Amino acid sequence: MTYDHIHDHQMLSTEARAEDNATLFGFWMYLMNDFVFFASLFAVYLVLRGNVFGSVGSDMFNMPLVLAESIALLTSSVTYGLALLAARREDTSAVLRRLCVTFVLGAAFLSMELVEFGRLIAAGHGPSASAFLSAYFTLIGAHGLHIAAGLIWMAALMVVILRRGLTRFTLRKLMLLGLFWHFLDLIWIFIFAIVYLTGII
Amino acid sequence: MSTNNYFEEIGAWPFRTHSLGGMYGWGYVLSLLLTIASYEAVMHHIARYSVLIVLVLVLACVQFAVQLVCFLHLGRETVSRERFIVLSCTALIVIILLSGSLWIMFALNERMVPSSDEMTQYMKSQQGI
């Protein structure tokens, strides 16, 4: 049985459906574990926030840049959703176009974050300057690494879709990466609110 | 109308095909408004410190809920119920982890450094050391 070009209402056999449903649930379990991982980093950050140890505190953030980062990541989450909608229409070229836009926005987010990191380190606020900055770089860096992994995954997925089209296997990966990408945006909401906004009040 | 129902079949999306584009649109507009509202509120210091912190956290939680419903399609459908249950358990763990850690760490001084009265009493009981 092939899943390559199915225009039937039911594209999956019962076993295939159960298998992919289990994959989806398993990936969701991983995301929930990641949620706990980020929560512990948030706890560390909140505990160490006052330990600025001579270096300036949280008034060093470049807030307009952080807002731009947030909007870029939020928009990329939506364009990914639009790629999923295009995948359901079996419009492969629209999927690839929208994934490209998502990739560019994600890369823009990551480069703004790296620019911000570079600026902080150049100003003497590197991760070794204080416990606050160690916790800050660990939390934001962990999120940034997730974004970088998501971008690599997205680039690989675009190549696979380009070569194999929208099959059961590429659709499944598209779905999982979508969960991952939306999840990273969810984590960023709290980074934006807790680290940046309550940090500068 | 599409015939490819893969996402619905494996239970990732609800069977309400017509409204999903609108869901992303609404999710985007609401998230954008909530982000900019909390940003502007903080940048212009519209309220006292404590009020502002509560406001920012509430807006963040609202945005979290908006994105869960609009982007991750967690709803009342049975297809997403198992994922919703796991999310709820995780949220409970996260709340215990965060509030517990913060409580312990910020109550350390109060609970572990004895007051001078307690110290005098202790030294008396130990015959002065």
Give the pLDDT score at A3: 46
Nearest CB among B3, B10, B64 relative to A21 is that of: B10
Residue written as tokens 């953030």? A61
pLDDT of B1 over the 50 cut: no
The answer to whether residues B41 and B97 belong to one domain is no
> Cβ(A143)–Cβ(A187) under 8 Å?
yes
Q: Where are the domains of chain A?
A: 63-200
Give the pLDDT score at A10: 61
Query: What percent of chain A has pLDDT above 90?
Result: 76
The answer to whether residues B85 and B127 belong to one domain is yes
pLDDT in tens, B99-112: 999 999 988 877 77
CA distance B50 to chain A (A): 9
Residues from chain B contacting residue A7 (CB–CB below 8 Å): 3-4
Number of other CB atoms surrounding residue A113 within 10 Å: 21
Give the pLDDT score at B128: 58
C-alpha span between B38 and B45 (Å, rounded)? 10
Give the pLDDT score at A199: 85
Domains: count for chain B: 2
C-alpha span between A46 and B98 (Å, rounded)? 9
B78: its two tokens: 């049975």
First to last CA, chain A: 60
Nearest CB among A29, A36, A84 relative to B97 is that of: A36
Nearest CB among A77, A182, A193 relative to B56 is that of: A193
The answer to whether residues B7 and B68 belong to one domain is yes
Give the pLDDT score at A57: 62
pLDDT in tens, B49-72: 999 999 999 999 999 999 999 999
C-alpha span between A5 and A109 (Å, rounded)? 36
pLDDT of A88 over the 90 cut: no
The ipTM assigned to this model is: 0.90
The answer to whether residues B51 and B87 belong to one domain is no
Domain of residue B105 covers 78-129
Asked whether the beta carbons of residue A88 and residue B5 sit closer than 8 angstroms, the reply is yes
Give the pLDDT score at A5: 46
Give the pLDDT score at B118: 80
Span A63-200: which CATH code? Answer: 1.20.120.80
B98 Cβ contact partners less than 8 Å away, ≥ 6 residues apart: A39, A42, A43, A46
Lowest mean pLDDT segment, chosen from A93-97, A107-111, A170-174, B115-119 = B115-119
Nearest CB among A17, A46, A85 relative to B9 is that of: A17
CA distance B56 to chain A (A): 6
The answer to whether residues B3 and B55 belong to one domain is yes
C-alpha span between B33 and B27 (Å, rounded)? 10
Task: Read off the DSSP letter of residue A194.
Answer: I
B126 vs B29, residue with greater confidence: B29
The answer to whether residues B13 and B69 belong to one domain is yes
| Helices vs. strands in chain B: H and E counts, helices first | 6, 0
Last-in-domain residue among B35, B57, B73 = B73
Asked whether the beta carbons of residue B59 and residue A36 sit closer than 8 angstroms, the reply is no
Q: Report the candidate in A167, A85, A99, A169 with the shortest Cα–Cα distance to residue B1.
A: A85
Residue B85, chain A, CB below 8 Å: the answer is: no
Give the pLDDT score at A51: 82
Give the pLDDT score at B43: 93
Last-in-domain residue among B73, B91, B111 = B73
The answer to whether residues B50 and B109 belong to one domain is no
pLDDT of A1 over the 50 cut: no
The answer to whether residues B61 and B98 belong to one domain is no
The answer to whether residues B96 and B123 belong to one domain is yes
Give the pLDDT score at B16: 64
The answer to whether residues B57 and B2 belong to one domain is yes
The answer to whether residues B57 and B96 belong to one domain is no
B56: nearest CA partner in chain A: A193
Lowest mean pLDDT segment, chosen from A17-31, A119-133, A139-153, B100-114 = B100-114
Residues from chain A contacting residue B68 (CB–CB below 8 Å): 186
How confident is the prediction for chain A on average, in pLDDT?
A: 91
Asked whether the beta carbons of residue B3 and residue A7 sit closer than 8 angstroms, the reply is yes
Nearest CB among B45, B64, B102 relative to A186 is that of: B64
Residues from chain A contacting residue B39 (CB–CB below 8 Å): 63, 67, 197
Give the pLDDT score at B18: 59
Residues from chain B contacting residue A195 (CB–CB below 8 Å): none
Residue B99, chain A, CB below 8 Å: the answer is: no
Give the pLDDT score at A60: 83
